[in-house]
Structure 1
Amino acid sequence: MGLVTAVLGLPFAPVKLVVSLGELIQRRVEEELHDPASARRRLEAIERAREAGEITAEEEAEAQQQVLDRMIGSTAGL
């Protein structure tokens, strides 16, 4: 039965591979969004941009809130 299943399932192998790859990418993106080190790097970059005069204080606050919203999974600020 395993051989028949393998032969009949062979045409669907590329689809299964694409689905598996999509799931892997989704997991990595979610890990990156919720990774404290990644959030810290983004917050530090925002702070450097503010210190360099590239963004205003209001833009800094908004960007920081977006980072924190992503970190906790909120979509209200997005």
Structure 2
Amino acid sequence: MGLITGLLTLPLAPVRGVVWAAEQVKQQAEQQYYDPALIQRQIADVDDAYAAGELSDSERDRLHDELLSRLFEANLRRRGKEM
């Protein structure tokens, strides 16, 4: 970035900072949301809750479907980064 461009875009620096911070928060949230180990623990928690009688069959199936979809997406994202 040249001196003139830097001076002309200086008023936008706070906006760029906020955008950067928001992107970092989003990236961290997605890493946690798509963490395979966390998803597997959540599946185990669902199974434990079902075994304890806290969930019905339909609730367990719905939660399993959601968690397995996230796990599938996590695997796709990880493969995409490896290629």
Q: Is this a same-fold pair by TM over 0.5?
A: yes
- Would the aligned equivalents of 1:39 and 1:67 in 2 still touch at CA under 8 Å? yes
**Structure 2 unaligned blocks of 5 or more:** 74-83
- Per the alignment, residue 41 of structure 1 pairs with 41
Q: How far does residue 45 in structure 1 lie from its aligned partner after superposition? A: 1.6
- Per the alignment, residue 5 of structure 1 pairs with 5
Q: TM-score, normalised by structure 1?
A: 0.74
* Aligned-residue identity in percent: 34
> Which AA in structure 2 matches 1:15?
V
**Structure 1 unaligned blocks of 5 or more:** 74-78
> Which AA in structure 1 matches 2:50?
R
What SS class does the counterpart of residue 37 from structure 1 fall into? Answer: helix
Which structure has more RCO (C-alpha within 8 Å, separation ≥ 6)? 2
Q: How far does residue 22 in structure 1 lie from its aligned partner after superposition? A: 1.8
Q: How far does residue 8 in structure 1 lie from its aligned partner after superposition? A: 2.1
Q: How far does residue 29 in structure 1 lie from its aligned partner after superposition? A: 2.2
- Per the alignment, residue 72 of structure 2 pairs with 72
Q: How far does residue 66 in structure 1 lie from its aligned partner after superposition? A: 0.2
Structure number having the greater helix percentage = 2
1:21 to 2:21 alignment: yes
